[in-house]
């Protein structure tokens, strides 16, 4: 019994590997791609899509050496990566499948509700260490960050810290869930999470990117109408103009595919 | 009959050969692993201090011709904004990252294969006297007339072993400082063992000498069950239950501290310490106990003067295994210590341990890059620490046997 199962499974995976569209890359995009692939295969029983994670950089290098058909990425392709793909004689195609908004969150008891980008930069680079320096109560600031391997870490560094390094010894946690848990139980805490993960145990703050003129709350609506500034596009990169790949990407961008995007808590691409 | 005997011998020979082979294979695998670990790890000292494929350029009017990784970090983090702090002119530093070129010149204007890019970049460096530019070596301008390259050193032993900052993904110059991680690991392990050892020995003495048979039969499996709980579950418990308790009790700004990690590790090391120490104590011969009691010693005196000295080597084995568990433990510590990579000033600071760093970062460290190699080197450090501990314990237990 077990043997036949094993044989069937290995045969199945072999056939899968032969015709499947292989998607590889960012762990942020991974759950979305999985969901999309699932309903794509339900709608097209002949189509096969396999999705694996590993990080944006891993996906793009798999695209270069041809072990993946689509690279999913939570950041824009870097110039050097683009250059490598060009050198290997392929043409790069880029498509934005969704947007992900990052919310800045604090403990619910904290009276602060608006912050400027400059204040956030000073907090995460260690120049501001007490909430009273930004108009709050006399409380030490505890800043939480994601691990260095995360695409979210890189995006926050680029967008909010303007490429400066995080303060040495910043608290870093391996997952978004752990960040929410810690911020919910630490009075002076501040951190960043995807808008999809917001829940009542943390309080999101409105952010201003124009030095305090307008403060925008992190909501899906504000991210959609492009007023909320801390938003990053999620990309698919591919090189072949294959009909199968095109069919899958068309599905992701179709109303049915974009409905899944909204269900996952991301912002629709169109 | 003869055939049967021959067959038996054959089987015996076969089994013997297999046992020898498995021993040999295991030793060879262990040896290979060590060699692999150290070769990968020491590759770090061959890599450059500046990110691979990139170089640092300044205007040739600038008298500064060398910048250390720390100085580069200070410049690119805007902590230092004037060249005179590094022995240059009294002039503002203009930080220039490669991407900025596309703000002034669109990508499409760079020509076939970006052939114009080095020329444009060269103009930028030539025109700004205070510039420090971080550019990919493939597209960098030639280092003459008005442009000077800052040579990058190789990462040195002291950069790693004495470095006080762990910023493995910093650009342009990643910092691989072992000190905060090593001290963090040692602090957490020390805390764990100083909590677990007295507690564990106490329980072991109680179980082997004082508890009645029924209690013992109930307690021992329960304690051993603790050893079977996955470490992630301990970590989760620590994060959700223990961290808030510690935060409230000591009135701290944050509950994820070295102490939290120490307490969780102590709980995890307890079953090992208890069961090994208890076994050692119960192995004390009945005659020795009875002789001691017959001489008029009380129960406590017997425990203190006879049983503990007799089972010292077993107890030290328990301690070593406990420390080993504490130093190598990954998941639970990753979740409860906050992972702030700084040199801990007290037990209430957040710490980042070596195993937690490897677990959290290896997943996305580029293959065979300096970051990847530095994580292997951390593994080597961990390996050396545990080896020193087990050798030390071996020596200690041997010495005690001589006395008796």
The CATH number covering residue B210 comes to: 1.10.3720.10
Q: Does B76 touch chain A (CB under 8 A)?
A: yes
Specify the pairing of strand B94-97 against strand B131-136: parallel
Specify the pairing of strand A203-208 against strand B175-176: unpaired
In this predicted structure, which of A11-20, A58-67, B331-340, B376-385 has the lowest mean pLDDT?
Answer: A11-20
Residue B209 within a domain:
yes
Do the chains contact at A171 and B363, CB–CB below 8 Å?
Answer: no
Decide if pLDDT at A1 tops 60: no
Collect all residues of chain A within an 8 Å Cβ-Cβ radius of residue B53: 80
Q: Are B217 and B325 contained in the same domain?
A: yes
Residue B255 CA to residue B73 CA, distance in Å, equals: 30
Residue B352 within a domain:
yes
Collect all residues of chain B within an 8 Å Cβ-Cβ radius of residue A142: 253-254
Residue range(s) defining the domain that contains residue B368 = 179-403
Of B97, B136, B180, the CB nearest to A80: B136
Residue B121 CA to residue A246 CA, distance in Å, equals: 38
Q: Does A91 touch chain B (CB under 8 A)?
A: no
Walk me through the domains of chain A, giving residue ranges and CATH numbers: 2-99+232-268 (3.40.190.10), 100-224 (3.40.190.10)
Collect all residues of chain A within an 8 Å Cβ-Cβ radius of residue B340: 169-172
Do the chains contact at B240 and A139, CB–CB below 8 Å?
Answer: no
CA dihedral B378→B381→B382→B386, nearest 10 degrees, is 170
**CB atoms closer than 10 angstroms to residue B246:** 20
Residue B137 within a domain:
yes
Residue B42 CA to residue A196 CA, distance in Å, equals: 42
Q: For B256, which residue in chain A has the nearest alpha carbon?
A: A182
Q: Does A86 touch chain B (CB under 8 A)?
A: yes
Collect all residues of chain A within an 8 Å Cβ-Cβ radius of residue B180: 169
Collect all residues of chain B within an 8 Å Cβ-Cβ radius of residue A173: 335, 338-339
**CB atoms closer than 10 angstroms to residue B348:** 18
Residues in chain A, overall count: 270
Residue B42 CA to residue B377 CA, distance in Å, equals: 7
Q: How far is A147 from chain B (nearest CA, A)?
A: 7
Q: For A25, which residue in chain B has the nearest alpha carbon?
A: B364
In SS3 terms, B227-246 reads as HCCCHHHHHHHHHHHHHHHH
Residue B166 within a domain:
no
Collect all residues of chain A within an 8 Å Cβ-Cβ radius of residue B239: 178, 181-182
Collect all residues of chain A within an 8 Å Cβ-Cβ radius of residue B339: 147, 171-173
Tell which residue, A115, A124, A128, A146, has the closest CA to residue A27.
A146
Q: How many contacts, defined by CB atoms under 8 Å, are there between A and B?
A: 96
What separation in angstroms does the CA of B68 have from each of B128, B176, B230? 22, 13, 44
Sign of the alpha-carbon torsion through B227, B229, B235, B239: negative
What separation in angstroms does the CA of B172 have from each of A58, B71, B104, B137? 21, 11, 22, 13
Residue B194 within a domain:
yes
Q: For A189, which residue in chain B has the nearest alpha carbon?
A: B254
Q: For B365, which residue in chain A has the nearest alpha carbon?
A: A149
Work out the burial of residue A116: count CB atoms within 10 Å of its CB; fewer than 13 is exposed, 13-18 middle, 19 or more buried. middle
Q: For A87, which residue in chain B has the nearest alpha carbon?
A: B113
Tell which residue, A74, A60, A97, A38, has the closest CA to residue A194.
A74
Q: Are B129 and B211 contained in the same domain?
A: no
Q: Are B108 and B24 contained in the same domain?
A: no
Residue B277 CA to residue B296 CA, distance in Å, equals: 26
Specify the pairing of strand A231-238 against strand A70-73: antiparallel
Q: What is the DSSP letter of A216?
A: B
Q: Are B36 and B58 contained in the same domain?
A: no
Tally the domains of chain B: 3
Chain B (3-62) residues lying within 8 Å, Cβ to Cβ, of chain A: 53
Q: Chain A interface, mutation test: which of B69, B167, B361, B363, most A Cβ atoms within 10 Å?
A: B363
Residue B266 within a domain:
yes
Q: Are B108 and B228 contained in the same domain?
A: no
Q: How far is A154 from chain B (nearest CA, A)?
A: 9
Q: What single string gives the DSSP state of each residue in B353-365?
A: -HHHHHHHHGGGS
Q: Are B230 and B287 contained in the same domain?
A: yes
Do the chains contact at A148 and B97, CB–CB below 8 Å?
Answer: no
Q: What is the predicted pLDDT for the residue at A201?
A: 92
Q: Are B237 and B340 contained in the same domain?
A: yes
Q: Does B73 touch chain A (CB under 8 A)?
A: yes
User: Which residues contact residue A183 at a Cβ distance below 8 angstroms, ignoring those fewer than 6 apart?
Assistant: A105, A106, A107, A144, A189, A190, A191, A201, A202
Of A83, A86, A169, the CB nearest to B341: A169
Give per-residue pLDDT as tens, A255-265.
Answer: 999 999 888 88
Blockwise average pLDDT, block size 10, chain B, 404 residues = 80 92 94 91 88 84 84 85 84 84 75 76 84 84 80 86 88 88 93 92 90 90 88 90 92 90 92 89 89 91 89 84 84 88 89 90 75 91 88 74 49
Q: What is the predicted pLDDT for the residue at B402?
A: 47
Residue B169 within a domain:
no
Work out the burial of residue B199: count CB atoms within 10 Å of its CB; fewer than 13 is exposed, 13-18 middle, 19 or more buried. middle
Q: Are B365 and B249 contained in the same domain?
A: yes
Decide if pLDDT at A214 tops 80: yes
Buried-state track B28-51, b at ≥16 Cβ within 10 A, e below 16: eeeeeeeeebbebbebbeebbbbb
Sign of the alpha-carbon torsion through A125, A130, A136, A142: positive
A6: three-class secondary structure by DSSP:
helix
Do the chains contact at A83 and B342, CB–CB below 8 Å?
Answer: no
Terminal Cα-to-Cα distance of chain B (whole angstroms): 53
Give per-residue pLDDT as tens, A122-149.
Answer: 999 989 999 999 988 899 999 999 887 6
Q: Are B328 and B361 contained in the same domain?
A: yes
Residue A151 CA to residue A174 CA, distance in Å, equals: 12
Tell which residue, B240, B233, B268, has the closest CA to residue B255.
B240
Of A58, A149, A170, the CB nearest to B340: A170
**CB atoms closer than 10 angstroms to residue A136:** 16
Q: Are B187 and B277 contained in the same domain?
A: yes
Q: Are B206 and B293 contained in the same domain?
A: yes
Chain A (139-178) residues lying within 8 Å, Cβ to Cβ, of chain B: 139-140, 142, 147-150, 154, 163-165, 168-174, 178
A76: three-class secondary structure by DSSP:
coil
Residue B68 CA to residue B70 CA, distance in Å, equals: 5
Give per-residue pLDDT as tens, A187-203.
Answer: 999 999 888 888 899 99
Residue B171 within a domain:
no
ipTM value = 0.76
Sign of the alpha-carbon torsion through A199, A205, A206, A208: negative
Q: For A147, which residue in chain B has the nearest alpha carbon?
A: B360
Q: Does B336 touch chain A (CB under 8 A)?
A: no
CATH of the domain at B71: 3.40.190.10
Collect all residues of chain B within an 8 Å Cβ-Cβ radius of residue A182: 239, 243, 254-256
Q: Chain A interface, mutation test: which of B351, B364, B366, most A Cβ atoms within 10 Å?
A: B364
pLDDT level of residue A88 (50, 70, 90 thresholds): confident
Q: Are B133 and B208 contained in the same domain?
A: no
């Amino acid at each position: 019994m077990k043997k036949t199962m094993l044989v069937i499974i290995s045969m199945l995976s072999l056939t899968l590997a032969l015709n499947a569209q292989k998607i590889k890359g960012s762990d942020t995009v991974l759950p979305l791609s999985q969901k999309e692939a699932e309903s794509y295969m339900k709608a097209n029983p002949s189509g096969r899509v396999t999705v694996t994670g590993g990080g944006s950089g891993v996906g793009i290098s798999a695209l270069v050496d041809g072990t993946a058909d689509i690279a999913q990425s939570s950041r824009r392709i870097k110039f050097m990566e683009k250059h490598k793909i060009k050198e290997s004689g392929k043409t790069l195609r880029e498509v934005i499948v969704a947007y992900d908004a990052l919310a800045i969150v604090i403990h619910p008891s904290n009276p602060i509700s608006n912050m400027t980008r400059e204040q956030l930069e000073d907090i995460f680079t260690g120049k501001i260490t007490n909430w009273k320096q930004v108009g709050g109560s006399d409380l030490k600031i505890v800043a939480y960050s994601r691990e260095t391997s995360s695409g979210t870490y890189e995006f926050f560094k680029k967008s909010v810290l303007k490429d400066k390094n995080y303060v040495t010894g910043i608290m870093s946690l391996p997952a978004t869930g752990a960040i929410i848990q810690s911020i919910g139980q630490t009075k002076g805490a501040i951190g960043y999470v995807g808008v999809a993960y917001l829940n009542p145990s943390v309080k999101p703050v409105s952010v201003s990117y124009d030095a305090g003129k307008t403060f925008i709350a992190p909501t899906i609506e504000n991210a959609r109408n492009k007023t909320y500034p801390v938003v990053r596009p999620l990309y698919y990169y591919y090189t072949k103009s294959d009909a199968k790949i095109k069919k899958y990407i068309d599905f992701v961008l179709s109303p049915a595919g974009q409905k899944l995007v909204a269900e996952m808590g991301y912002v629709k691409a169109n | 009959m003869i055939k049967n005997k021959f067959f038996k011998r054959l089987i015996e020979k076969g089994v013997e050969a297999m046992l020898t082979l498995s021993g040999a294979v295991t030793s060879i695998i262990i040896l290979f692993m060590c060699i692999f670990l150290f070769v990968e790890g020491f590759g770090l000292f061959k890599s450059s201090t500046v990110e691979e494929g990139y170089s640092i350029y300044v205007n040739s009017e600038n008298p500064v011709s060398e910048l250390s990784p720390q100085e580069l970090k200070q410049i690119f983090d805007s902590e230092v904004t004037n060249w005179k702090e590094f022995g240059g002119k009294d002039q503002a530093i203009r930080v220039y990252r490669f991407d900025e070129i596309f703000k002034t010149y669109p990508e499409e204007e760079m020509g076939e294969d970006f052939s114009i890019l080095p020329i444009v970049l060269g103009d930028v460096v030539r025109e700004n006297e205070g510039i420090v530019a971080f550019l990919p070596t493939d597209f960098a301008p030639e280092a003459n007339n008005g442009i000077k390259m800052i040579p990058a050193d190789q990462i040195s032993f002291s950069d790693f072993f004495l470095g006080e900052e762990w910023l493995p993904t910093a650009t342009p110059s990643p910092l691989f400082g072992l000190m905060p991680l090593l001290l963090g690991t040692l602090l957490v392990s020390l805390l764990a063992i100083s909590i677990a050892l007295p507690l564990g020995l106490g329980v072991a003495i109680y179980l082997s000498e004082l508890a009645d048979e029924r209690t013992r039969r109930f307690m021992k499996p329960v304690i051993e069950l603790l050893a079977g709980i996955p470490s992630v579950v301990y970590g989760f418990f620590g994060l959700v239950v223990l961290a808030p308790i510690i935060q409230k009790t000591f009135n701290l700004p944050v509950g994820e501290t070295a102490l939290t990690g120490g307490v969780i590790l102590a709980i995890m090391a307890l079953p090992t310490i208890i069961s090994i120490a208890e076994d050692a104590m119960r192995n004390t011969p009945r005659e020795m106990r009875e002789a001691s009691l017959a001489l008029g010693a009380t129960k406590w005196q017997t425990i203190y003067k006879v049983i503990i000295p007799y089972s010292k080597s077993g107890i030290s084995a328990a301690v070593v295994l406990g420390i080993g568990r504490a130093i190598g433990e990954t998941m639970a510590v990753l979740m409860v210590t906050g992972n702030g990579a700084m040199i801990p000033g007290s037990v209430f600071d957040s710490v980042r341990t070596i195993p937690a760093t490897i677990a959290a970062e290896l997943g996305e460290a580029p293959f065979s890059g300096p970051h990847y190699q530095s994580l292997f080197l951390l593994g080597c450090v961990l390996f050396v620490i545990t080896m020193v501990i087990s050798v030390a314990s071996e020596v200690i237990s041997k010495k005690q046997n001589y006395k008796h």
